[in-house]
Amino acid sequence: MSVYVGMDVHRKRSQVALVDEHGVQLANRNLPNDSAELVAVLGRLAPGTPVAFEAAYGWGWLAELLNELSLEPHLVHPSRCKAIAAARLKDDRVDARTLAQLLRAELLPEAWIAPQAVRDQRGLLRHRAALVRVATALKCRVHAVLADRGVGVQESLWGPAGRAFLAELALPAVQRAIVTDCLALIDAISPLVVRLERDLVARARPDPRVQALQSLPGIGPITAMTLVAEIGDIGRFPTPASCVPGPGSPRRCATPTVRSATATSPRWARRGSASCSRRPPSGPRPARPSLPSMPRPQPAAASTSPPWRSPASSLLAASTCSPNSKPRPEKVNPPGALAPSHVPETRPKD
């Protein structure tokens, strides 16, 4: 008898549902995220039993555990699993059972489970990107403090000349403390970024894909390693066009570009590579074929209402008049007559 397993994974506990080949639920239990507890339930299954789970927070340990138990892990794309997102009754038991049923029917929107080596490379690249973002935020904080004090900056503040300028700058006590703290954090982060970049460059040298990508203009070793790590195995895409919607690259690019093809890639990896990776043409662009001229639509007739009157005010004015009422004729003073003086309306006394 074939068994299909669906797991709704959370940070501390997981819901495990088992269904047979006919869709009959065999078990539905809530277990802590402990290897011993899960092995007691999953270890009794036959080798090769498929197990479906969503790409939730911290799923790497579960994929490794399923591989150790000789089970078949299936990573589910969470945003594309509409059967769970559109369900009226939503709880952990229902979600786990739905995953098992979709797995049985072969209707799961699966994501690629990257090997451990690729996940380690992604971890180093994302850690470096996070440190660089922190350092950039600290530098922006220093510039904001100087701008708030009206200090003009003509050169870079992060070289020897800029550091000397900041050290000699007269600032109030609070602003001086902020600048000093930001500079101390920047100095603490810089060696970490240098060490990570040295490690990443050493990993990039034996990879022929990284060397091939560096031949493109504007792509260095870090960018090339980011492309290789986030796209992963390019052979899983049958055509170049199928790689475009997977990583999330714009469809106007004629060649596949660089965003992540997994469900758990960070936003910086998906956003940072939106441009096409092909070389711009060196010669003049070919002339576009002329299109037949289309007749332009004629402008609508001008409205008789004043330009300052909105459609709402026109409808309101029309609704206050009775259907049989006639417009009042406008009074015209004879030639030479004086205009009547305006008398303000007085309010009767009580």
Report pLDDT digits (tens) over 88-134: 667 888 889 989 999 998 888 888 888 888 889 999 999 999 999 99
CA separation, residue 83 to residues 54, 88, 265 (Å): 13, 10, 23
Give 3-state DSSP helix, strand, coil % of the chain, rounded to 5: 45, 10, 45
**Residue ranges per domain, the chain?**
3-111, 118-271
Burial annotation 97-115 (CB, 10 A radius, 16+ → b, else e) = bbbbbbbbeeebebbbbbe
pLDDT of the residue at 279: 38
pLDDT of the residue at 301: 54
DSSP 33: S
Q: Please state the separation of Cα 232 from the chain's center in Å.
A: 19
CA-only gyration radius of the chain, Å: 34
Burial class (CB in 10 A: 0-12, 13-18, 19+), 244: buried
Give the residue carrying structure tokens 């990896």: 269
pLDDT of the residue at 17: 93
Positions in the chain whose pLDDT score sits under 70: 82-89, 244-350
pLDDT of the residue at 107: 86
Give the residues across from 18 on adjacent strands. 5, 27
Rounded distance, CA 257 to CA 278, Å? 9
Q: How many helices (H) and strands (E) does the chain have?
A: 12, 6
Rounded distance, CA 155 to CA 157, Å? 6
Rounded distance, CA 261 to CA 230, Å? 7
pLDDT of the residue at 79: 75
Fold of 3-111: Nucleotidyltransferase; domain 5 (3.30.420)
Neighbours of 186 (CB within 10 A): 18
Rounded distance, CA 14 to CA 59, Å? 11
